[in-house]
Structure 1
């Protein structure tokens, strides 16, 4: 973990990540190659902390490991940080108060309330004094805005000291707006543009997840800074479906 990780999440500085939902170290090893960062998801997967720890050991040394925690909870945040990550993604942030709670959990006292103990993050205590002194400045805090209420409060959220970047949860956001999956609907496009503009006005980077070529183009054109360009389950399912379809087309003709 270095200051270089924070440089990945600067407005106007493109960075590319990969999304990991499968809890096997080989997947993390394969999917982190060549990327600036990876996001290991514990919100919508069955991964426990032991699995996350093993994935972190497999991530390529040049890819910054970010973990999405399942909720804005100080106990979860503390335990994942102790595993030795470069930063966290925290879902469903709707207010400045929630953003402040997340930042508070990310920081050691006296700036925050993170529990103090040696762990993998400090080489099992060997470098704990140094880690304690530098962690608050080096860890990246990425908050997810993914509801109509979050959009309405986006300016307050990104204004919170300690918020490094935001990411748009487009699936949940479109559902919250009553237009699930309708990316060209005016309500969704307006909400997305509002988040991007607000982040820009407050000098914060904004990112999104794309799972296919079309969405890579769509979200890049929308003005995002960093892109999670694909996900392990999407690669597997699309590759598997394509191979099967290719064979079936041959034998059916």
Structure 2
């Protein structure tokens, strides 16, 4: 039995544009249903949702039968959290709040086995297909896809240095936190924020690193895609549920 190939990483580095959906419902039923909705990827968020590592496990299992590739965002750039997320089978990690090249290098090290990094070694994990994938330790470093998240004006100033870190496969820009950092809390549509987002993707294009972003509606998602963002979340599952429920309730009154 062989290790699973990271199809998301392969497609991303081949230059494909990949559309995804943010998942914060913490429900295996929702994960299983959404994994076959037609998106290229689903992100399971453990930073801004109440799900812990043990709760991520069934989400990954439920989504594994669908066509969307799974991405996990750990709660922090923490080597222990990252190790545990990798051990339960996540191949693509989005590390939040990376401020500089040193923090990016720390994230890379946490996702790699020695001598390339510091990831701890465990045998019978879901990542290695419970020890049945005999090639796992040989290919794991290569198959992990590391995405780092830029969320502040300070991080934007270090964008080139962060993107240049070996082992960083893509850079994700967080519009909401960036808006707060730039003095426009709750208003990522402000011209200052939008201009910063456009400059960021242009700079990343020059470095050759794929750029990613989260949108909360199709219009923003399409605009970001047209600007050159290569992996774009077009919405959030909880937001879609609330919007549809509110619309139905309004229609029935």
Q: What TM-score do the two structures reach when normalised by structure 1?
A: 0.93
2:131 to 121, 125, 133: 125
**Distance in 2 of aligned mates of 1:77 and 1:138:** 15
Q: Is the 8 A contact 1:11 1:200 kept in 2?
A: no
**Distance in 2 of aligned mates of 1:20 and 1:73:** 21
Q: Is the 8 A contact 2:6 2:91 kept in 1?
A: no
Partner residue in 1 for 2:236: 231
1:45-84 matches, cutoff 5 A: 45-59=49-63, 60-84=65-89
Q: How many residues align?
A: 247
Partner residue in 2 for 1:251: none
Report the secondary structure of 1:143's partner residue.
strand
Partner residue in 2 for 1:41: 45
1:1-253 matches, cutoff 5 A: 1-10=4-13, 12-33=15-36, 34-59=38-63, 60-118=65-123, 119-127=125-133, 129-248=134-253
* CA deviations over 1:85-132 (Å, ceiling 9, x no partner): 1210000011000000000000000000000112110111222x4111
* CA deviations over 1:185-243 (Å, ceiling 9, x no partner): 34212321222012111111111112222322332233211111221101110000000
**Distance in 2 of aligned mates of 1:3 and 1:125:** 18
**Deviation for aligned residue 1:47:** 0.4
Report the secondary structure of 1:214's partner residue.
helix
Gaps of 5+ in 1: 249-253
**Distance in 2 of aligned mates of 1:136 and 1:143:** 16
Gaps of 5+ in 2: none
Q: Is the 8 A contact 1:11 1:203 kept in 2?
A: no
**Distance in 1 of aligned mates of 2:48 and 2:11:** 25
In 2 relative to 1, CA 186–212 (structure 1 residues): closer, same or farther, beyond 3 Å? Answer: closer
In 2 relative to 1, CA 57–184 (structure 1 residues): closer, same or farther, beyond 3 Å? Answer: closer
In 2 relative to 1, CA 183–49 (structure 1 residues): closer, same or farther, beyond 3 Å? Answer: closer
Q: Larger deviation: 11-20 or 100-109? A: 11-20
Report the secondary structure of 1:9's partner residue.
helix
Runs of 4+ in 1 over 6 A off after TM superposition: none
Q: Larger deviation: 61-70 or 71-80? A: 61-70
